[in-house]
Amino acid sequence: MRSQGPQTMTYSAAAAASLAAAMHADSSVVALGEDLGRGGIFGQYRGLLEAFGPERVIDTPISEATIAGSAVGMALTGLRPVVEMRVVDFALCAMDEIVNQAAKNRYMFGGQGRVPMVIRMPIGIWSSSAAQHSQSLEAWFAHVPGLVVLCPATPQDNHSLLRAAVRNADPVVYLEHKELWTLEGGVDPDVEVEIGSARIAREGVDLTLVTWSRTVHESLAAADMLATEGIDAEVIDLRTIWPWDRDCVVRSAQRTGRVLVAHEAVQVGGFGAEVVATLAEHTEARLARIGAPRVPVGYSPPLEAAARVGSQKIADAARRLVRGGEGRGRGTA
């Protein structure tokens, strides 16, 4: 039966609905992690325990390595586990299981085993939560062969990409943002999103803003600011960090001649550098990037604000790029 069309949902409700649909459709899909019985700390599992019972919605001890290791074993024996790490910061306790077991198994054993697991690790600054709860580590996982890395920015994509992640035959690092859970938007349960496809969130001709996760919304706000000054910015939401949609970004760069990559993660070694390097190799666009300073996120509001990459900072960087004050390449300035 097809759905009744788009509905307004929060980012967290969209994820819960997507996972519920996947569990109804496939009895091999299970969820495990801390606090799932009470719906997850962000409500992203709300109603699932009541619908599927404790054998498929499994509350675990506080041991990330145990949770991830158990899920690898489940996946190798035919299940499709969805693993809850609560926040990406806690997943560091499970890095051996994720990087050395889940990511490498298919390669090391000649394809005899597959690890179709989804590892949910909310990323990003979490207001007033300080350095150990506010990291964006997508570049770490993009660096690891064998992992797929997704960063949904909207309720629709959190529904569609989670469904695609559950169906994927290899391990998926699924990075929702900690401050998007209450974001509302239209969700059509029938919409499919292919892993590796970007979304043009706003069309423009003067420069391209490439971004993902919560920074998509900051970039759209920056584009609105720029529009009042006669600068027409295109905004591309990558959605997928690995594989990423090089073709979409290259086409836009060739059309606009200027590209600014913006992300909330620390700029040093961030995935923005990969995007800029690829564009430097394949286009003559003027290029720049903006990310967070290389400091831990502070607890105090002024220090936290200094670590954020907001719309004003993005707009300022875009103006400099358009006016020719930074970047490489011929561009059109």
pLDDT of residue 274: 98
Q: What angle do CA 194, 197, 199 make, to 5 degrees?
A: 115
Tokens representing residue 116 in the block = 């179709």
pLDDT of residue 330: 42
Q: Are the beta carbons of 44 and 15 closer than 8 angstroms?
A: yes
pLDDT of residue 128: 86
pLDDT of residue 3: 58
pLDDT in tens, 28-63: 999 999 999 999 999 999 999 999 999 999 999 999
Which residues contact residue 254 at a Cβ distance below 8 angstroms, ignoring those fewer than 6 apart?
Answer: 283, 285
pLDDT of residue 2: 56
Please report, rounded to a whole number, the percentage of residues in the chain having pLDDT higher than 70. Answer: 96
Averaged over 295-321, what is the pLDDT? 96
Helix residue ranges, H only, the chain: 11-25, 48-52, 64-76, 95, 105-108, 138-142, 155-167, 215-227, 246-256, 271-282, 301-307, 311-322
pLDDT of residue 332: 33
Is beta strand 233-237 parallel, antiparallel or unpaired with respect to 199-202? antiparallel
Active site residues: 133
pLDDT in tens, 252-261: 999 999 999 9
Q: At what angle do helices 246-256 and 271-282 cross, to 10 degrees?
A: 60
pLDDT in tens, 62-74: 999 999 999 999 9
Q: How many residues does the chain have?
A: 333
Q: Given a cut of 80, is residue 331 above it in pLDDT?
A: no
pLDDT in tens, 96-137: 999 999 999 999 999 999 999 999 999 999 998 999 999 999
R_g over Cα of the chain? 20
pLDDT-derived band at 94, boundaries 50, 70, 90:
very high
Q: Given a cut of 80, is residue 333 above it in pLDDT?
A: no
Q: Are the beta carbons of 293 and 263 closer than 8 angstroms?
A: no
Domains and CATH numbers, the chain: 7-187 (3.40.50.970), 199-322 (3.40.50.920)
List, in sequence order, every residue forming a beta bridge with 237; answer none if it has no partner.
199, 211
Please tell me whether residue 182 adopts helix, strand or coil conformation. Answer: coil
pLDDT of residue 324: 79
Averaged over 263-270, what is the pLDDT? 97
